[in-house]
Amino acid sequence: MVLPPPPEKDRPLIARCQAALEHLGQRDASIVRDFVGRLNRGWKLSDKQTTFLESLLQKAETLAKDGPWQPSPEQLAEGVFAAQVVVSRGSHWKGTHMGVTSAADRILSTHGVDPLHLAQLEPADEWCFEKVIGSVGPAVREFRKPKFHVGEMVEMAVWPLAAGHPGCPGIITSGPVAHAGAVGYELFADGQPVTILSKHLKRLK
């Protein structure tokens, strides 16, 4: 069955949609294609649909003019750290925070910093960074202003590799790092490297 041509009044909008497709990610492009299909059938869009479509077209036109949004070096460092905190959390938390988890995956995929997230997902945009950084605010604040520094001597309240080592001293070798859904530090203690959550460390006096 051959469909009749779309109404004359919709043709400029359809042309904008088609031009936008090459500048949008997979998800947004799929939505625009669906709207094009509706317009080609002569269907009228609701006010809500029209507003949503216009926001996608403006996004595509901005991308075409200015190129993809790029984080500043500070935003990139904080966003990657926050994303690593998110993906280090348990499956139950991630299952109840799917939007944040998806945004974290997009950050790690886009910026190629995690070998577990090399799949080509939709590129991370400003929304992803704001969503992920905002979701783990305390961790990001400690990333900006670490509680401990490389070379500092600390005491551990817990010992992860064997029972019975509370109070074991260690020396900070790296950090902050994402660990078990929060902030951790890498140490050398009792002759071996370990990673301990920040909340289980205190400075030796």
* CA dihedral (90, 150, 79, 122) positive or negative: negative
pLDDT tens, 37-92?
Answer: 999 988 999 999 999 999 999 999 998 988 888 899 999 999 999 999 999 999 99
Q: What is the pLDDT of residue 118?
A: 54
Largest distance between two CA atoms of the chain: 82
Domains of the chain, by residue range, sit at 8-66, 73-143, 146-203
Tell me if the pTM is above 0.85: no
Report CA Rg, the chain: 24
At 82, which helix (H) or strand (E)? helix 73-87
**Residue 123: partners with Cβ closer than 8 Å, 6 or more residues away:** 25, 68, 106, 110
pLDDT tens, 138-193?
Answer: 999 999 999 999 999 998 887 665 444 667 889 999 999 999 999 999 999 888 89
Whole-number Å distance between alpha carbons of 50 and 39:
11
Phi/psi of residue 177, nearest 5 degrees: -130, 155
**Percent of the chain residues past pLDDT 90, beyond the cut:** 62
Encode 130-155: b = buried (16+ Cβ within 10 Å), e = exposed: ebbbebbeebbebbeeebbeeebebb
For residues 69 and 114, which has the higher predicted lDDT (pLDDT)? 69
DSSP 180-194: TTEEEEEEEETTEEE
Q: What is the pLDDT of residue 163?
A: 41
Please tell me whether residue 171 adopts helix, strand or coil conformation. strand
Look at the block and give the residue holding tokens 């094009």.
Answer: 36
Residue 62, both tokens: 């901005």
Query: What's the CATH code, domain 146-203?
Result: 2.30.30
Q: What is the pLDDT of residue 123?
A: 79
For residues 142 and 204, which has the higher predicted lDDT (pLDDT)? 142
Question: Looking at this protein, which amino acid is placed at residue 82?
Answer: A
Whole-number Å distance between alpha carbons of 134 and 181:
14
Average pLDDT of the residues of the chain? 88
